[in-house]
Structure 1
């Protein structure tokens, strides 16, 4: 009996192990070979498998080829056919740092010096700790703010807000979806978040490249270039590799594959995107855009903030130092690609300051092709958007309509719902007292809205005005 019992126990243990193997086989079968390779690469980076550099090269994908076949996935709605939190095998993100031998090219020391001078008018790296920590981080999926990036604090907020505006244009108007209303944005899952971010980044880089190129910057594990003696190394720029694409679909697919390099904690994602933006435009053209004006970033009391030229590059593809001005280029001036500030782009721009400003935002930026606006209100950046594209193309839709407002501030837990009435003339009452006078001061956001719809009244629908 003892021998039979021991034999029975041994058979049960063998059967249990076979069952475990079957479960793992099903997992690998579901995730696909891409997931399997990703696990192998992750183990190799930890030294578990002891893979050589040649093995890495044999596994490295080719990034310069066409990705037209994959790009169609970005316009679908996978949430309808997958459980929350799941990912298609083709979207498995790679680690933050690239292994050796994956292609691309390093930034030459001379180019690194030009980059720093363009940013700071100095060859010394001057990014603050807030910039180093900034990355593209979404709110939890399937939540009230599932579509939204967490902007945090500091000088990176204009970049995050501009990318947020492009994310909204994709989620509401670009992808194929059954509806375009706010509830749909709240149902965005983790996979869709990554696709929306990849699309927004690729669209912005492609516009900066004049519609013919995009350059993506990613970080490698080892330092790839040796700086000159006159250049102060920052152990970050020297680790960057540049990947150039002549097809937007290929650039978007590459960013999607490496989305963790922009949205992962510790990725320096915002700085990498800013570098990608400048190299897509080319440093020479950015310098031509700026002329003899101040650098792209301002430094004051240790704080690093974006100039209007950075906003212009994000919205129009040009680093114009006078975003919103109506000045047009002189006849015969070099174009260099990118949309002019007076032309209509997918995302608009509204600005209002308590102190009078010399330049008004051009009509082309106030009236974009889609009802999404980056707002600069008293120096704070946010996003205002509508869900009905007729608001831009049909004047009858502008009588009474709805807009939604997101600041990116940590305190905001739901999207603000505003109702705009352009035919109610309550604003004409008490003409003797201006809207900014003591006791009659309007919320700054309402004043920004009135730069587009003069005299409009704004209802916050029960929410206390907070911006």
Structure 2
């Protein structure tokens, strides 16, 4: 299958971002434009698809090769449009001041612009130099090492590239040099023809004395003699060392540019001991200056290339998002309309229904109140069942599991922001992992862009269309995915919806319907309230309709039976219901006596949380036991911690009977677990 243009383009962008080290940008891109099975993670394959192997090989032999395929492609197309050479990185001071650019990838070689002009103008001279350099294939290195002949008075205070530009004041001297150069041009042509085939052109140097340039140095000169060397891609270190012995004397200082033409000079990075000695004696020497030309295409002997770049067969590195939580990447599956319609039907009853504003604007945001830093804040009524269920698992992690033993249990009720976020990740992971029967789980995130255009019997609200789902098959990977996208759950506005979608998909829509007594039941009921099926899905991993233990068969009287599905195994956190006090339902021991002393409280069509700090609460009470329970309601705009002291046993029988209408519903819920318990609100106003 041939990858689409979109997939190749996105893979090219990812390669660029990866090479540039833009880790967070890649993570954001993976959220908004998730990778698919067709995504390309191998550079070699990407080069083959783009047919740029030749461009890539030519780039690698440059002194400063480009790092990304995108830059190589862009440079190639720009050079086709413009005759000028394109700088690829580091611009020199001269290039910035005069508008000229380098023709070598690293921005290091010298460039002379070609302009038309009279033979008596400096522009003609520069043009001849460029033409001669391309035709004769001059050697790549011309160096300047000695300016001792420059007078101390005329010598600039410091040598830099802008000091080597001839001034208008020296125009007459320059024109003399032009005439000399023009007369010697024919001689240089003859010299070129005399060179043997396969050898590089001879290095020519000239002297500049106080602004005057002389002709070529005679071949008899030993110190500045010419060399003939075999063709090769790059000069060796030994040859560069020998080249540094050839030099030119520098012109006097200059104050203005030479028309529109100038030379770029690149200095060596280190100063030799001889240069340091000259400077100590009051004599200034110039650092080695190299003027290099770019090799032509036919000079490149591709068979002799030695490339020491990275291995192209390696896959593109994956990028972690927060605190380097993972070195792995998880392929996301964009939401399709069929799945979105099924989700809306099982959640809301119809694919034409919409989520309420209370659901759309609710995430798992924690309280800023110092004594309630463990509490998740609910903005408006509706998704309280989801919030209370996650709050229960969060408290279980915070108080009993996520600890190194250094803090007391009371100190854990004042968690740091980092501890809160970590425990939230662990709580969400446990809920989803249990919904997936501890075999697999799905995490839904908002990608920020629509994956399908709704048609037919479906109402769009630009919500499910933007969902991308990540499927994992072990709990460690599940925690990693949640950690990478926890901002969408904690500080985002769609946290409750995303979690509910994740839980349903982890369980699967089909199994959720099979869990219910009636498969037409919805998980979000009238007025946006959570049904018992949704709460049970989050607490126990199954969307059953009842809270008693195990399944119950009812005889319909006509030989038919009705199967009522209940809780089939002990739960980690429990549930207490006011409906049990009124004999409307019966909560089984699996929920009443969970593994940890944390309960979701269902009272007056609202869900909140009750929890203790000691697991001993769950064992058989001794005579006259007394213990503390803490209550938290995210919707009550709670500003202080509510601590209840519960007394159970004979001591409660002597207490004065109180009017049943004045007993707070929370106390009635507590008495469904501890019969005849006496509750002391510890000077806190009872919640009626």
**Alpha-carbon shift at residue 414 of structure 1 (Å):** 2.2
Q: 2:503 aligned with 1:277, yes or no?
A: yes
Equivalent residues in 2 for 1:116-135 (5 A)? Answer: 116-135=344-363
- Aligned CA-pair RMSD: 3.4
Preserved contact between residue 214 and residue 246 of structure 1 (Cα < 8 Å): yes
Larger radius of gyration: 2
Where 1:384 maps in the other structure, the secondary structure is: strand
Deviation string 1:311-334 (CA, Å, 9 cap, x unpaired) is 111111110112x2345167xxxx
C-alpha separation between the residues in 2 aligned to 1:131 and 1:306? 11
Tell me the TM-score normalized by structure 1. 0.73
Q: 2:631 is matched with which residue: 387, 402, 405?
A: 405
The CA distance in 2 between the partners of 1:383 and 1:212, in whole Å, is 29
Unaligned 5+ runs, structure 2: 1-18, 33-39, 42-67, 71-314, 554-564
Deviations 1:224-251 (A, max 9, x none): 1233322222221111111111101110
Confirm whether residue 219 of structure 1 aligns to residue 455 of structure 2: no
- Does residue 1:204 correspond to 2:438, yes or no? no
CA distance in 1, matches of 2:612, 2:629: 5
Cα offset for 1:409? Answer: 3.0
Once the 2 structures are TM-superposed, how far is the Cα of residue 215 of structure 1 from its aligned partner? 0.5
CA distance in 2, matches of 1:45, 1:313: 27
Matched, 1:309 2:533: yes
Aligned 8 A contact 2:579 2:585 in 1: no
Deviation for aligned residue 1:353 = 4.2
- Determine if contact 2:515/2:544 at 8 Å carries over to the other structure: yes
For residues 514 and 624 of structure 2, the distance between their equivalents in structure 1, rounded to whole angstroms, comes to 39
SS at match of 2:443: strand
CA distance in 2, matches of 1:276, 1:397: 46
Equivalent position of 1:366 in the other structure: 592
| 3-state DSSP of counterpart to 1:297 | coil
Instruction: Specify which structure has the bigger relative contact order, considering alpha-carbon pairs within 8 angstroms and separated by 6 or more residues.
Output: 1
CA drift of 1:380 comes to 2.0
- CA shift digits 1:360-387 (9 cap, x unpaired): 1111110000100000122221111111
Measure the CA separation in 1 of the matches of 2:343 and 2:635. Answer: 31
Whether contact under 8 Å (2:597, 2:614) holds in the other structure is yes
| Contact 1:219/1:241 (8 A) holds in 2 | yes
d(CA) in 1 for partners of 2:29, 2:513: 43
Tell me how many residue pairs correspond in the alignment. 378
CA distance, structure 1, for counterparts of residue 588 and residue 452 of structure 2: 43
Mean Cα deviation higher: 375-384 or 157-166: 375-384
Which aligned pairs between 1:428-447 and structure 2 lie closer than 5 A?
A: 435-437=659-661, 441-447=662-668
Distance in 2, matches of 1:103 and 1:211, equals 20
Compared CA separation, residues 375 and 398, structure 1 to 2 (3 A): farther
1:139 and 2:373 aligned: no
User: Distance between the aligned counterparts of 2:651 and 2:404, measured in 1?
Assistant: 38
**Conserved 8 A contact 1:424-1:456:** no
Which residue of structure 1 lines up, in the alignment, with residue 339 of structure 2? Answer: 111
Give the TM-score taking structure 2 as reference length.
Answer: 0.51
Task: Determine if the alignment matches structure 1 residue 90 to structure 2 residue 324.
Answer: yes
Cα deviation digits, residues 278-333 of structure 1 (max 9, x gap): 0001000001112334211113xxx31111101111111110112x2345167xxx
1:173 and 1:180 in contact (8 A); partners too: no
The within-5 A match list for 1:282-361 is 282-290=508-516, 291-299=518-526, 303-322=527-546, 324-328=547-551, 341-353=567-579, 356-361=582-587
In 2, Cα distance between the equivalents of 1:348 and 1:293? 26
Contact kept? 1:391, 1:397, Cα under 8 Å: no
**Unpaired runs of 5+ in structure 1?**
1-32, 47-52, 64-87, 93-100, 331-338
Distance 2:442 2:492 in 1: 22
SS of residue in 2 equivalent to 1:382: strand
Distance across 2 between alignment mates of 1:310 and 1:44 = 30
Evaluate the alpha carbon distance shift between residue 428 and residue 269 of structure 1 in structure 2; reply closer, same or farther with a 3 A threshold: same
1:421 equivalenced with 2:657 (yes/no): no
CA distance in 1, matches of 2:372, 2:624: 26
Query: Which of the residues 476, 480, 504 maps onto 1:253?
Result: 480
